[in-house]
Amino acid sequence: PADLVLTVDTTQRYQKVKGFGGSVTDAAAMNILSLPETAQDHLLRSYFSEEGLEYNLVRLPMASCDFSLHAYTYDDVPFDYELTHFSLRDEDTKLKASALAMSKQPLSLYASPWTSPTWMKTSESFVGKGTLKGQAGDKYHKTWANYFVRFLDEYAKYNLTFWAVTAENEPSAGLINNYPFQCLGFTAEQQRDFIAQDLGPALANSSHRHIQLIILDDNRLHLPHWAKVVLEDEKAARYIHGIGIHWYLDFIGPIQDTVVPTHELFPDYFILATEACIGAHFWERDVILGCWDRGNQYSHSILTNLNHFVAGWTDWNLALDLEGGPNWVKNYVDSPVIVDTSEGIFYKQPMFYHLGHFSKFIPEGSQRVGLVASKESKKVDLEYTAFLRPDGAVVVVVLNR
């Protein structure tokens, strides 16, 4: 209605933005590289170039996850504590590194491990309930910390340097009986001790000492408890820069009860949305081509996060096939880009365009500012946010669901 006025107030300043992007899983890289060269180039430009969405954040699994053809790590030779057999796989060198090499824009890359080698785990398996053997400070934990450093070393040989690592993808998953795909369990206390005694020092004493370390990387339901346990410990906190959150259980962990108190307790640590996709819940269809509502769900999540101190938002797979894979445990989901390998073409879905309303207009370094609606707005279900960009422009994004 004509009587709705949104007023920007640049005197109110909130969080600064890190950026927006998606994940280069084995599956995403395989789908992208299955296309004819012109289509590959078109797909990558659609995401990363100035004509495209201008993504600047890319998350990479450290070795395999469910969106791989099989389970593997970089050192599956038992009891190789020196990591002498550590090596990247074809999935890294031929798929992920090739896909990333095609992006001309500078990217902030961050990596997350799903599982350690099985010989380091209580379960001796890639899947199911299991943690690292022993306890923080011992040879298993030291070796696992050094594995991160080796990963960064090896990728550096392909001219790929990382902005950050997360301490573990979904550490709570490995505490669940019969968990169906790669995981490694940590309680908040175990993550705190592993960072304080092993991972923090290993990174600090490496040539990657400037890398940012992100904790949690799991559903926000664990906040603020997880942050309190880890960040109230000075020995761990000094190595940590941010907190990662996944969106899967948002409906039972309201942002006001989880993210907001975390930001209030620990304002110096950024909060970043590190994974989201639709189709992961058993009641959801995997791929629905052209589904507008799924675009709305993305925008709603991004707006809610941005309006509550979150610094950026990372989608899950950059591209999947028509089935929502490949995925070795058939955990198929949807993606903003769907590749039809048999035809050599790809589809950009509504989710793709919804993400672009943020990634293209809110560059890294933008700062959220106040935005006040006149009272009449009660009539319409609008969601909105405002940012002051580094170039001095103000951008307002409005969603009318």
- Residue 242 bridge partners (DSSP): 214, 270
Whether 275 is catalytic:
yes
Cα-Cα-Cα-Cα dihedral of 89, 95, 98, 100, to 10°?
-100
SS (HEC) of 267-313? CCCEEEEEECCCCCCCCCCCCCCCCHHHHHHHHHHHHHHHCCCEEEE
Contact at 8 Å (CB) between 272 and 216?
no
Whether 170 is catalytic:
yes
Residue 326: both structure tokens together: 């490949």
Residue 250: both structure tokens together: 């948002």
Query: Closest Cα partner for 33 from 106, 88, 100?
Result: 100
CA Rg value for the chain: 21
Separation of alpha carbons 174 and 210, rounded Å: 29
Distance, first Cα to last Cα, the chain: 15
Q: Catalytic residue among 275, 364, 376, 383, which? A: 275
Q: Catalytic residue among 37, 170, 284, 383, which? A: 170
CA 335, chain centre distance (Å)? 14
Separation of alpha carbons 286 and 375, rounded Å: 40
**Residues belonging to the active site:** 170, 275
